[in-house]
Structure 1
């Protein structure tokens, strides 16, 4: 497959498409959101595995100030509310609230209290991530997830967070993209290759345990983990985590960023994290949603992350814009919902540009921030802001909308169905 990827050139952008007319809307019960995470956006990072990866020179860019959500959360939450979103996703950083094995930082908990109060005060629901790939430095000193005591220590923190925010009306994400978490830990030296299966086993056990704990403390809450959709590979990816916690999910959290097809093999750029060089494949989100609708019919689907990176904020060479990307993906989600997938929500990643695990070069933000060059960290709106606001207000795309990006030729997102039935008809 890799040889094929390297040998075949990507097809050009096609304006308009033979896709069917848009559904009339995603429904009044559909939830719209934005997302962010602790280390990537907060700034002022405490000692953690990731602050150590940066200081050791293993990353492309220094961290600098970060986008400083830590001190600018009120304005970023207000920007989200102005879009009309229902959900604001963020993470409570373990490294921030438990800086030592026996020490809890009440001031940092108070900060998260204020974040949640601000979200709720704007009429939005918090979506709280317990683990977005970051753990305290003192856990790193013990071997990270290779240490047999880490799951119990993780659960101690997670239960404290769940107890504190029970009743806040939150949705909960336990582990963000667990399989990619393992891959990042391997890449940056947090674990060795032989320890990778054990790390997955331990996260499975921790998820199953905290699921029950959250439901005991917060019976009305919804709990999940979000899977990173890897085209044509989800059978193997699901087998190591999602399949093993299926009975401990209240919805299937889906992260979709790119597809693969016979006329779009640019996903090879993901190997080097050059996500801005990948040609988006919006119809792939339809196939991903339909894949999980068939596989886990008992679970509603919430798109926890979807977004498009640009190269340092520069326009894409093919002219495809963030607003095009948003409208096209929402069109295909509407198609999936119309074709029977129980898609209940969508979060755009992310509200602002952030630190993409070693670099600021990929710009995903609805609001762009020049973290390394602008000491004022000014938030500047992209064209995606107005587009997303309009989509939310209308409940989807207009009925006569046609995607800017043509449907892929023989999508390999979930073969063979995605190739044989490209429009779901």
Structure 2
């Protein structure tokens, strides 16, 4: 990388001292202001992938595309972080990949930890808060070889790695995400053979235990830090989804992380496309975000809510047939989030997924990025801004879309996002 681990650590320490002097970034001091952010993840965007469950899935021939070097965030992180800062974002979410920092049971990779040191340092240098994900569905190849989540030893190994990451970045004012979308994590492991169907409940049990354990350890290692696990909101079956993870860890969450991508209604059955990973064929339902936020503000009134992921994919970057744009999607969802806040939902932040296109778990076809990148045909991996860039910049500058905004997409008929209320509510 051209610099030593020691020089990176020294630079990081200086930045941390400076950040600690700023009330907006002081560890464990919730900001009075609403947090606007962007998100990415390790395996999906970094490239140069080490041996892991997902590098093996990608190489198996069972995915639509192989991972390759993705958008090469591993070597281009400064420019992507700069793009987020130039939007005015206050939060930059990324993941520390277990497979990258611990390539074997007894080995820690100082070069790769140095890379993450530099990522954190640059986020802080650009005035943003790191939101650090500990597990975004990827674990090392040596963990695969010992049976993955079917082996109880994996829990202890996971906690060892997670504690090392937390200890390294304690005091930087980070927001911590323990496990990304646990329900979908289990589903993906089922799909690609990491577990069998009878083992799914055992994997949920293991994820609950490691979340509970690392939550407590984060509050020892990084006092005052705020910790959550973001969950994928799946309309119409929320109670069943909640029961396998969120309900079981609700006493060990400092805020509730929600990922909202699609709704379902009597006149909008297109959510079925999500089941076959054709998210670009789903008709967006922005008002469903309101219903989801209101549901969880009632269910967990003690927990602030944070929209950790929200975004719209296009099919290989092509315009949607209905003319609905990323700018429309972004503005409409922010409008409904603001309506939820006005109606009492304690929503403290919003992240757009994602800052650039990336590897969507087997395919480069779904394009979620504010900046689009044609991984398969453009060797320069040029970041090209979509119409969402200027829109999000304006939203952040204005702290929302404003009281005069009129949504492009009207509410669906009889929404089933949170039945029966979402179908009968005519006041939103």
TM-score by length of 2: 0.92
Alignment correspondent of 2:211: 207
Cα deviation, 1:289-314, whole Å, max 9, x if unaligned, reads: 00000100000000000000000000
Question: Which stretch shows the higher mean deviation, 60-69 or 74-83?
Answer: 60-69
Q: Which residue, 100, 109, 115 being the options, matches 1:111?
A: 115
Q: Which residue, 179, 182, 185 being the options, matches 1:181?
A: 185
State the 1:398 CA deviation: 2.5
Alignment correspondent of 2:272: 268
Alignment correspondent of 1:218: 222
**Correspondences of 1:78-97 after superposition (within 5 Å):** 78-97=82-101
Alignment correspondent of 1:366: 370
Alignment correspondent of 2:66: 62
State the 1:422 CA deviation: 3.9
Contact 1:28–1:395 (8 Å) recurs in 2: no
Alignment correspondent of 2:425: 421
Q: 1:28 to 1:404 in 2, by over 3 A?
A: farther
Alignment correspondent of 2:172: 168
Alignment correspondent of 1:300: 304
Q: Which residue, 395, 400, 405 being the options, matches 1:396?
A: 400
Contact 1:261–1:413 (8 Å) recurs in 2: yes
SS at match of 2:229: strand
Alignment correspondent of 2:343: 339
**Correspondences of 1:279-294 after superposition (within 5 Å):** 279-294=283-298
**CA distance in 2 between partners of 1:52 and 1:40 (Å):** 14
Specify every segment of 5 or more residues in structure 1 that has no aligned partner in the other structure, as ranges: 1-26
Pair 1:315-2:315 in alignment: no
Alignment correspondent of 1:102: 106
State the 1:322 CA deviation: 0.2
Cα deviation, 1:333-371, whole Å, max 9, x if unaligned, reads: 000000000000000000000000000000000000000
Pair 1:240-2:238 in alignment: no
State the 1:28 CA deviation: 6.6
Question: Which stretch shows the higher mean deviation, 413-422 or 365-374?
Answer: 413-422
Alignment correspondent of 1:405: 409
Cα deviation, 1:233-272, whole Å, max 9, x if unaligned, reads: 1100000000000000000000000000111110010111
TM-score by length of 1: 0.93
Report how many residues are paired: 398
Higher relative contact order (CA 8 A, sep 6+): 1
Q: Which residue, 119, 126, 131 being the options, matches 1:127?
A: 131
Contact 1:410–1:422 (8 Å) recurs in 2: no
Contact 1:407–1:422 (8 Å) recurs in 2: no
SS at match of 1:134: coil
**CA distance in 2 between partners of 1:74 and 1:422 (Å):** 46
